[in-house]
Structure 1
């Protein structure tokens, strides 16, 4: 059985993908936290499937790992904010990009361009 990798405190900064840093800073601000000052109180858990969970461990109990700050894939894609309004904003942006992309007829080879546009969000 493959176990989760766990990084604690400043060690987290070394393992956060560049694509996720900007969104992670926004997630910290949404929770009235500072990325630079409060990362030392956090824990990052990386599952075998490549999902990263960042939690603030100051409210940790035996059954609760702490306050969720955000989740993302190890490559930085698919960032999920703990503040739901941010996720709704991202969904609207993705929907607009898709609708603009498919307004003109596309060939199968051009679908890579859509993936690239969506990954830049």
Structure 2
């Protein structure tokens, strides 16, 4: 009777080991894709570093936006939103006040509130 028990135990061990195997998938990416990924990370980090400036935090507070909440939202933005925000920042002339940056951030937050992605402004109801 010990022989079938050993066979059954071995079969169960093999079955459980097959079930527990992690599935790993790897794919090659091109140099261009790697550069795009790196650029998106740089763009996101630049926006987050802007929020560390005291002037910008003060302006956000005047608009009733918590800087920490804005930073959290930026970290959850899609790549397209980050690109749009950075494109607008690049269009601004050098030396322009933080008011334009704040205005742009507030506009992006209003749109994300409208689409239900965030709830920064309690007076805005999502469209869906």
TM-score by length of 1: 0.27
1 or 2 for the larger relative contact order (CA 8 Å, sep ≥6)?
Answer: 1
Q: Considering fraction of residues, name the structure with more strand.
A: 1
Task: Tell me which structure has the larger Cα radius of gyration.
Answer: 2
